[in-house]
Amino acid sequence: QQPVQSPQAVILREGEDAVINCSSSKALYSVHWYRQKHGEAPIFLMILLKGGEQKGHDKISASFNEKKQQSSLYLTASQLSYSGTYFCGTEKGAGNMLTFGGGTRLMVKP
Amino acid sequence: DTEVTQTPKHLVMGMTNKKSLKCEQHMGHRAMYWYKQKAKKPPELMFVYSYEKLSINESVPSRFSPECPNSSLLNLHLHALQPEDSALYLCASTPVGSSYNSPLHFGNGTRLTVT
């Protein structure tokens, strides 16, 4: 079953912050986050495993609340390069394959 | 540039044609994947080869036939496709046999148009 992402789209000014949410009706083992620019391959951002951990990479971080079956991606002080479509991918068990959410289109303007 | 190479980048084929998509990685990854992506939609899993064996087939029509000749190569053979099969076909790989705790490395895809 496909995870649900919100919002579907967001427009930011450079330097503003954004939060993208990913939720599932099923228990999750892990959550992946990817960014895809138009006409390009999805690029891996981070993986979060069960345990409610948070991860960060530069000004992009994420959390995983397994009780709520939800993950959030935080983009701080957004840059023009952050523009693209963000997909979360969820796995219901070890070895199960990813199911991607519908995506969140992010546009950062100067 | 990605470390997963897909050819061709673009393909136009008629409904009676037979063609193949090719994917190659030299990172020593042990699982390779085919995804289909329609415009403004997420990638949808089609097939997974884990340690060169087909481990997942997501109820894909038989007009799509995957092949994994060796651990570095993945092919997708196409025959008698329909216009609705037009999409971006993405290949991906993971270092281990599944995507659990292992990032997918995607190729840039083959944009397929069926006329």
Going residue by residue through chain B (115 aa), what tens digit of pLDDT does each one get?
Answer: 569 999 999 999 999 999 999 999 999 999 999 999 999 999 999 999 999 999 888 889 999 999 999 999 999 999 999 999 999 999 999 988 777 778 899 999 999 999 9
- B85 phi/psi in degrees, rounded to 5: -80, -5
In this structure, how many other beta carbons lie within 10 angstroms of the beta carbon of residue B87?
20
Q: What are B107's two structure tokens?
A: 């190729």
- pLDDT at position A49, please? 83
Residues of A in contact with B107 (CB under 8 A): 41
**3-state secondary structure at position A77:** coil
Span A54-77, mean pLDDT? 86
- With beta carbons under 8 A apart, name residues in chain A contacting B47: none
- Cα separation of B73 and B60, whole Å? 20
Does the structure show a pLDDT above 90 at A66?
no
pLDDT value at residue A36: 97
CB contact at 8 A, B101 and A49: yes
Helix, strand, or coil (residue B11): strand
pLDDT band per the 50, 70, 90 thresholds, residue A56: low
pLDDT of residue B97: 77
Cα-based distances in Å from A4 to A59, A99, A107, B34: 24, 11, 20, 23
What is the b/e burial string over B54-73, where b = at least 16 CB atoms within 10 angstroms of the residue's CB?
Answer: eebeeebeeebebebeebbb
Interchain contact, B100 vs A91, CB within 8 Å: yes
Q: Are B113 and B86 in contact (CB under 8 A)?
A: yes
Confidence at residue B85, expressed as pLDDT on a 0 to 100 scale = 97
At residue A106, the pLDDT reads: 98
Indicate the SS3 state at residue A22: strand
Task: Check residue B33 and give its pLDDT.
Answer: 94
- Phi, psi angle pair for B111, to nearest 5°: -90, 110
Write down the pLDDT at residue B22. 98
Specify the pLDDT at position B1.
54
Subunit contact B45:A98, Cβ cutoff 8 A:
yes
Average pLDDT over residues A50-67: 78
Assess whether pLDDT exceeds 70 at residue A21: yes
Secondary structure of residue B101 in the 3-state scheme: coil
Contact A97 B109 (CB under 8 A): no
What is the reported pLDDT for A96?
64
